[in-house]
Amino acid sequence: MKQLLCIFFSIGVFISNSNAQFIDEGVIEFEVKTNIKKTMGSSPWAEMMKDKLPTFKTSYYNFTFKNDKSLYEFNHWENKDLIPDMYRKSDEKSVWFSDFSKQNINMQKDVFGTSFNIKDSIIKIEWKLSNENRIIAGYNCRKAVGKILDSVYVFAFYTDEITLPGGPCTINGLPGMILGMTIPRLYTSWIATNINTNKLSAEIIEPTSSKNIFKRSNIAATIDEKTKDWSDGDDPDSRKWIEQLIWNVML
């Protein structure tokens, strides 16, 4: 009797898995919300500026994926007129192209008018899965915690219904697509608000690279050099601001 029940159970699992719909291409819209007042620190200049700024800047990005390739890029602002130009340009001009079959990434970043083209391998993140689940954009997602850049924690929710092991920016490496995440040290959250699973009419093309190509290994030193006159290196608040800037460029 027990053997018969095991056979029926195995057949049921097989049929269930056969009928499962797994998604390998489409477009995901992410809402990205950053507390810009907290990113500014507590210097006298920052405190003076905070009264002139909204607490959050909210932007929307599209994550397009097909055939193990993805393109993550800016789409629009929630309230563009409330965000000063200096807090918008880097978001609007940054692009991430990932080729998961080759494990390569091409990031094009803007840092206060200076363009950085970073071409490197896709970062490897050590994840710890938990039993916590939540529904995001209609998909059941499981929680995972990872760490990047040696000390920056990422709290993510992924779904295995979307087969690409990707996510916003450079975050990746889970058994499915990340649909929600927060990085507390960057005061930023990402959440999928809409998922279009229609077949894409065209292939995803890697953006044209600039002449100056950087690796992650030298980007921190390069930004340190370019920003050395912007702040007092001995001031903890200034050091924290530069550190967050480097994290955002590397992300």
pLDDT per residue over 46-90, tens digit each?
677 777 788 899 999 999 999 999 999 999 999 888 888 877 888
- Sheet containing 114-121: order of strands: 127-136, 139-148, 152-159, 177-183, 188-196, 25-35, 56-66, 69-77, 95-99, 104-111, 114-121, 213-214
Q: Minimum mean pLDDT among 118-122, 144-148, 221-225, 243-247: which range?
A: 221-225
Domain-wise residue ranges, the chain: 21-123+179-250
In the prediction, which pLDDT does 221 show? 82
How far is 186 from 221, CA to CA, in rounded Å?
20
Containing H/E element for 69? strand 69-77
d(CA 144, CA 28): 20
Instruction: Supply 69's token pair.
Output: 């390739």
d(CA 179, CA 136): 7
Query: Has residue 18 got a pLDDT over 60?
Result: no
Tell me which amino acid residue 120 is: D
